[in-house]
């Protein structure tokens, strides 16, 4: 699998049957690192409920190598009020063995294309400042640091900063087009 070519990676919308594999990708970020501030790995039913909730309105994409999930990303509501409909929070996780091969970039590019079709204009990523690899990855994709909260989280014996990073997908119109929930779009053709 290490030698697998980038072109052999398929990106498609998530399926509930992916949940267990995606939890396995996420787990080391929770149990062995200060990347994710959760204190326990989510149960399968909870992760499936999360997939169902997110995909009702936003894209949730999976990268596959030979049919096996090796990474995923999604967008979720930024805040609760409708005034924020044109802004989302983005999240991405890759299996550690598949990092550095351009899969994260491809996932985020597919996510951004879907979000543009939804008329989303602003992307926000909340990142542990200790995870310099993620910070650099987001910078390379055009995200800019907009806020730093110092010593806001405590995990694995240390106080941690978080960064909020922002990316704008296009010019801000005087009046934005209405937000289109993901369910109203066919993402299967746009993510290949």
* Assessment of whether the complete model's pTM goes beyond 0.85: yes
pLDDT tens digits, 2-30 = 445 566 899 999 999 999 999 999 999 99
Residue 103, SS3? helix
Is the separation of the CB atoms in 63 and 108 below 8 Å? no
Q: What is the pLDDT of residue 190?
A: 45
Q: What is the pLDDT of residue 68?
A: 97
Task: Give dist(CA 121, CA 18) in Å, integer.
Answer: 28
Q: What is the pLDDT of residue 3?
A: 47
Sites in the chain below the pLDDT cut of 50? 1-3, 189-192
Cα diameter, the chain: 49
Q: What is the pLDDT of residue 123?
A: 98
Q: What is the pLDDT of residue 2?
A: 46
User: Where do the domains of the chain lie, and which CATH numbers do they carry?
Assistant: 6-123 (3.40.630.30)
Q: What is the pLDDT of residue 80?
A: 87
Q: What is the pLDDT of residue 174?
A: 96
Q: What is the pLDDT of residue 191?
A: 46
Beta strands of 66-140 (E only): which ranges?
Answer: 68-77, 87-94, 122-128
């Amino acid at each position: 699998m290490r030698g697998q070519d980038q072109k052999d990676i398929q990106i498609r919308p998530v399926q509930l049957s992916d949940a267990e594999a995606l939890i396995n990708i996420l787990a080391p970020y929770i149990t062995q690192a200060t990347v994710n501030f959760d204190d326990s790995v989510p149960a399968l039913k909870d992760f499936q409920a999360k997939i169902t909730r997110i995909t009702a309105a936003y894209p949730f994409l999976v990268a596959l190598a030979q049919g096996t999930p090796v990474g995923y990303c999604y967008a979720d509501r930024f805040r609760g009020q409708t005034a924020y409909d044109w802004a989302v929070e983005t999240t991405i996780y890759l299996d550690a063995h598949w990092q550095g091969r351009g899969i994260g970039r491809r996932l985020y590019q597919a996510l951004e294309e879907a979000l543009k079709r939804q008329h989303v204009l602003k992307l926000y990523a909340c990142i542990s400042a200790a995870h310099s690899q993620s910070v650099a990855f987001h910078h390379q994709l055009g995200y800019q640091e907009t806020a730093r909260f110092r010593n806001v989280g405590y995990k694995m014996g240390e106080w941690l900063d978080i960064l909020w990073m922002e990316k704008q997908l296009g010019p801000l119109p005087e009046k934005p087009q209405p937000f289109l929930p993901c369910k109203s779009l066919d993402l299967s053709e746009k993510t290949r």
